Amino acid sequence: MDLTQRAYCDRILRVNLSTGSIETTPLPANVMPLILGGKGLGAWLLCTEQPAGVDPLSAENRMIFHNGPLTGTTAPTAGRFGVTTKSPATGTYFDGYCGGYWGNMLKYAGYDALVLTGAAQNPVMLVIDGDWVEIRPAENLWGKTISTATKQIKDELGHDWQSLVIGPPGEAQRNLAGIFNESRALARGGVGAVMGSKNLKAIAVRGKGGVRVHDKRQYERALQLSFRAVRMSGPISMLRKEGTANILEVVNAMGALPTRNFQQGQFEKSDEISGTAFRQHNWEKDYACFGCPIGCSKWTTPLEDGKVIEGPEYESIYALGSNCAIGSRETIIRLNWLCDEYGLDTISVGGVIGFVMEMFERGIVGADTLDGISPSWGNAEAAIALVEKMARGEGCGEWLAQGVASIAKRYPAAKAFAMHVKGLEMPAYHPNAAKGTALAYAISERGACHLRGAPLGELFSGAADPLVIEGKPQLFRDHQADKAVWDSACLCAFPGYGMTLKELWQLVKAATGFDYPKVADLERIGERISTLARLFNVREGFSRAADTLPARNLIQPMTVGSAGGQVVDLEPMLDEYYRIMGWDANGVPTPERLKELGILDTPGAFKNGE
Amino acid sequence: MKIGLQTRMDRLFNRHGDGRAICVAADHGYMSDVTPNVVNLRSTIEAVIAGGVDGILLAPGQALRLAPLFKGRDGPALIVRADWMNMPRLGTSNVTNAVPQRLLINEKVITAEQALSLGATAITVYLFLGYSDKVETIGIDKCAKFVNECRRAGLPCIIEPLAYGGQVTGANIVEILTLGARMAVEIGADALKIPYTGDVDSFRNLIEVSGVPTLVLGGARSDNERDALELYAEAHEAGASGCLMGRNVTKSPNPKAMIEQLNNIGHHGWTVDEALRGVAWDFMRLKAKPALCTGCNLCVGACVASHGNGDYGTNQARLRIESGSKPGQHKVMFCTICKKCIDVCPTKALRWHLESGAVELLPEHCDNCAKCVAICPTQVIIHSEMGLTFEDGRSLDWYPVVCDLCGSAPECARICPTGAIFIAERPDFSPVLE
């Protein structure tokens, strides 16, 4: 089977930063139809090649960048790529995805994946120009912010290059550090810290190659259907108009907009920070990632001192806004600018500030331990000062930038309202007001995550009653399988508000020529991939005990709002979900289920795990 | 009463004697937004009637108010929306009214007799699928009661199966819609209003399974009007008896033209391209509105994929998106058919293509002096990657690659999601051979 005729490059680039060795290997051809690429390939490589118990910040941890079979074609959002590694924030399997313009470049350079191992002695940059790959010294980039480093690379190499860079928090290996392709980011789980631990400041790539699909005529037809489904979707036209923030009003109405560190689910200043308000006062122009017909992101009008960002999107607005009781759009933009400029994760930064604000209000921490800063609720100056500390690694910023879970270890009295799962700060949907989403946060292979199949439709498209738990395990299981396929074909989630798995199946089938007679065959691939990720976590010692939520969700009822009185009755949902997935009562996939999914039959899988 | 039913079915489906009906749904003010298309309902209805629409779906109150526009027997058929539901309020299209809803509510608002007295030719009712069994049971009970009333009154009952519930997935949506179509017919629907299944084969199957006249609905409006026309053209090919489209027509800047285009496809067998242009252009050109460009580069990808060996990529594109001076600004660089390359060519290797009017290279005349590359104001003439060898043994190690307008169907303009690059007529042009 010639994978280069099936939308793949059939090359994995392997760089060992300790030894300087650079080589390429072919894709595991017999496995590809089972895992598709992207997330599937990342999970497979991490599971089969990485021994158990590796320290995430050690040279042994693998960092795997991957694109998918559709990447680089004209499919909607085909510039997407991901990274898979073991996270320093969670200690789990971790995958993150990003738009921008880097993923398609890696594909055009001729690689389906880039596997990084080892760690350089001194700061380096990886330069990939098609077949030419080089590890260059990067002392001159070390310490530079995202925009400065990015510009310096473009000036040095040329404007047809794309780069991934980390900022100072990444260099300092902080858990809140992300990786940036200009204004787009893979920010969660401390992936920037993993890159920093390898002394790798940047990865620049340029490629001039192409992608050959298996059946061009069928693929063009599938493209036409996909684009039409995207263009004829109401939710997508809202995304274009008001960005991801378009849902803020409805989430607030449902009592699910986390406010004041999840004490409430409705924010009294929601009108000030809605998509409508941003569109009216702050947004100048739409931004699209490579190949994206939606353009959900927006460029802002400059702040007083000329600062401009691409954003803020809904998650950042919640994290830096309602979660800290900040209702000023300009403050949110400034906080977001700081995160983008220094290379921090907006969700986790907002999670930390909200958490610290609550600890301060309850007297658990004082200004004396926070370098004189008094972060009361909604205090914009304090929030900005805290983010600056985290960005520069100064004073309290050094330990704050390790995230909520790490802070809670210093202050056990705050554990009940440390809003994270497995060490990852929570995203923008209050679990008490959305039970399917609560289950997804508890189960997700990378900690509290809304992008690993959380059935968000329960909140904003009437897909189910958000407050009941009945039927939610099945709903989550379906969404989880679905989402794993999107991440493996490697498209953004947003075309999925118009397209369904059916359109994606038509694309994947035409591009790869793999034998998938039914749409449901892809669901099976999705379940297989999620199960692989679960197996990695099981091997690292995670099981049922870790599939949980903070006490604020489990035993403290919401006091006000349209989800008032609600807690998450998690255990019955876990039982039901494990049963549907064929996992045992402790959350470990059974050998029978693994056999059904073809995992044990996959050559090489889990040779280290058994 | 059977005669009444037949007369009304004919009124709806046989105004043109072809069994097809191009209809507009304009009942949105009843349950979703008060958007401009809803506020200006009267002018929209006047426009679609002027465009020759065959039927218009209205809520009962508006049917009463707008009755004079229907002008007796020669006018379009009035279809009355006979039930109300809260589903759009659960979604994002109307967030200001969004309230935490626990269940779908679907209420009957008018009887068949009342609809008849309004002058209705038919009524429509929803059948919700993919929610809970409870919702489905209530829906079937309601549809069955309507069908009985309609039978007594001799009024056609159009059932509208919708698959929006939480159980709907990409893997089962076609199955749910097909089953829904059949269920509607088993209940007694005289015709269906139904979403498109996404491809011709499955929609043809749905129509065959249902066995009654089927009107395809449009859904949310696409900014690219080609989408609605293509969707209808495919449904037409699959055997649909017409369309009952709402927002794609009523939110269009020109609803009359949209109806004329749908009519030309449905009643006159035109292709989408013919319908879109209305009149044939002799020649076209590309134009751009850079302010609309989001920088997605789909145009560049589409250009590369439709030339050379057909692989997808961005190398060797015949147009280019450049960053502007401010964040988010873009420049669209494409062939503006300025003729400078043709004029500068010392060997007359470049000329207007006789059919497309694009710049055409006659490679055998070319000695790759690169004067055209140098003079191109938008720098979109590029060096080919491969050379050429001629029969006489002469060879070129590269030749200039120029925009060929994809033979009068430019892929860049076709794929552009925002209309930042588009085609326009090129009047007063004829390619003269010198």
Query: What's the average model confidence in pLDDT over A587-605?
Result: 83
- Rounded Cα distance, A90 and A109, in Å: 32
- Rounded Cα distance, B388 and B371, in Å: 19
- Rounded Cα distance, B155 and B164, in Å: 28
Query: What's the average model confidence in pLDDT over A329-338?
Result: 98
Mark which residues 183-212 of B lie under 8 Å from A by CB: 198-199
For the stretch A296-328, pLDDT in tens is 999 999 999 999 999 999 999 999 999 999 999
Question: From the CA of B169, how many Å to the nearest CA of chain A?
Answer: 7
ipTM: 0.95
Does residue A270 sit in helix, strand or coil? helix
- Inter-chain residue contact A231 with B224, CB threshold 8 Å: yes
For the stretch A492-534, pLDDT in tens is 999 999 999 999 999 999 999 999 999 999 999 999 999 999 9
Q: Which of B92, B301, B323 sits opposite A74 (nearest CB)?
A: B301
- Rounded Cα distance, A259 and A322, in Å: 5
Give yes or no for B18 touching A (CB within 8 A).
no
Q: Per-residue pLDDT for B103 more than 70? A: no
Question: From the CA of A275, how many Å to the nearest CA of chain B?
Answer: 11
Question: From the CA of A513, how many Å to the nearest CA of chain B?
Answer: 15
- Inter-chain residue contact B166 with A288, CB threshold 8 Å: no
Query: What's the average model confidence in pLDDT over A418-432?
Result: 98
Mark which residues 283-312 of B lie under 8 Å from A by CB: 294-298, 301-302, 304-305, 309-312
Nearest by Cα to B194 from B231, B244, B157? B244
Nearest by Cα to A391 from A120, A144, A195, A201? A144
What is chain A's Cα-based Rg? Answer: 22
Length of chain A: 610
**CATH number where A80 lies:** 3.60.9.10
- Inter-chain residue contact B222 with A231, CB threshold 8 Å: yes
Give yes or no for B223 touching A (CB within 8 A).
yes
Token readout for A412 is 């056990």
- Rounded Cα distance, A160 and A153, in Å: 11
Query: Which residues span the domain enclosing A190?
Result: 3-206
Number of domain units in chain A:
1
A425 located within any domain:
no
Q: Per-residue pLDDT for B420 more than 80? A: yes
How many CA atoms, within 13 angstroms, populate the side-chain half-sphere of residue B282?
7
A81 located within any domain:
yes
Helix B173-187 and helix B133-153: axis angle, to 10°?
40
In one-letter notation, the amino acid at residue B363 is P
Q: Per-residue pLDDT for B129 more than 60? A: yes
Give A216's contacts in chain B (Cβ within 8 Å).
Answer: 310
What does the angle CA A201 – CA A203 – CA A206 come to, to the nearest 5 degrees?
A: 155
Q: Per-residue pLDDT for B248 more than 60? A: yes
Q: Which of B91, B104, B199 sits opposite A234 (nearest CB)?
A: B91
Question: From the CA of A368, how many Å to the nearest CA of chain B?
Answer: 41
Query: What's the average model confidence in pLDDT over B46-68?
Result: 93
- Inter-chain residue contact B169 with A482, CB threshold 8 Å: yes
Q: Per-residue pLDDT for A14 more than 90? A: yes
How many CA atoms, within 13 angstroms, populate the side-chain half-sphere of residue B334?
25
CA A55 distance to own-chain centroid: 21
Position B281 confidence tier, pLDDT thresholds 50, 70, 90: confident
* CATH code given to domain B2-277: 3.20.20.70
